[in-house]
Amino acid sequence: MRDATLKYLLVLPAVLVVLATAIWPLIESLRLSFTVGRLNRPGSLDQYLGFENFAWAFLYEPAFWNSVTVTAIYTVLTVALTTILALGLALLLAPGGRFRSGVQALLILPFAMSPALIGVSFRFMFNPEFGLFDAFFGVMIPPLADVSWLADPVLAFAVCVMADVWGWIPFLTLVLIGGLASIPQDTIEAAQVDGASGWRVFRDVTLPQLAPVLGVVVILKSIFSLKTFDQIFMLTNGGPGTATQTLSHYIYFNGMKYGQIGYAASVAWLMVIPMIFLTYAYARFVFRRP
Helix (H) and strand (E) counts in the chain: 14, 0
In the set 148, 187, 237, 242, which binds other proteins (CB under 8 A)? 187
**Cβ 207 to other proteins shortest distance, Å:** 10
| CA gap 212, 234 in Å, rounded | 34
Smallest separation (angstroms) from other proteins to the CB of 212: 10
CA-nearest of 188, 224, 228, 227 to 208 is 188
Do the Cβ atoms of 107 and 93 come closer than 8 Å? Answer: yes
Stretch that binds other proteins, among 68-76, 119-127, 199-207, 219-227 (CB under 8 A): 199-207
**196 is a contact residue toward other proteins (CB under 8 A):** yes
Interface with other proteins (CB under 8 A), residue from 102, 112, 186, 273: 186
Nearer to other proteins, 110 or 212 (CB): 212
Helix (H, G, I), strand (E, B) or coil at 245: coil
* Closest by CA position to 177, among listed 96, 82, 282, 287: 96
Does 190 contact other proteins by CB under 8 A?
Answer: yes
Stretch that binds other proteins, among 65-73, 119-127, 183-191, 220-228 (CB under 8 A): 183-191
The answer to whether the beta carbons of residues 178 and 172 sit under 8 Å apart is: no
> Total number of residues binding other proteins (CB under 8 A)?
19
Check binding of 184 to other proteins (CB under 8 A).
yes
Residues 6+ apart with CB under 8 A from 120: 234, 235
- Nearest approach in angstroms of CB 208 to other proteins is 4
Q: How far apart are the two ends of the chain, measured CA to CA in Å?
A: 43
Question: Which of 17, 26, 194, 277 is the binder for other proteins (CB under 8 A)?
Answer: 194
Candidates 97-105, 168-176, 184-192, 279-287; binding stretch for other proteins (CB under 8 A):
184-192
DSSP annotation of 37: -
* Geometric angle at alpha carbon 62, from 56 and 66, rounded to 5°: 120
Q: Which of residues 214-273 bind other proteins (CB under 8 A)?
A: none
Binding residue (CB under 8 A) for other proteins from 4, 143, 195, 288? 195
The residue among 208 and 241 lying less far from other proteins, judged by its C-beta, is: 208
Give dist(CA 268, CA 252) in Å, integer.
9
Burial (CB < 10 A; 0-12, 13-18, 19+), residue 125, is middle
**Residue range at the interface with other proteins (CB under 8 A); choices 110-118, 205-213, 247-255, 257-265:** 205-213
Contact residues for other proteins (CB under 8 A)? 184, 186-187, 189-197, 200-201, 204-205, 208-209, 211
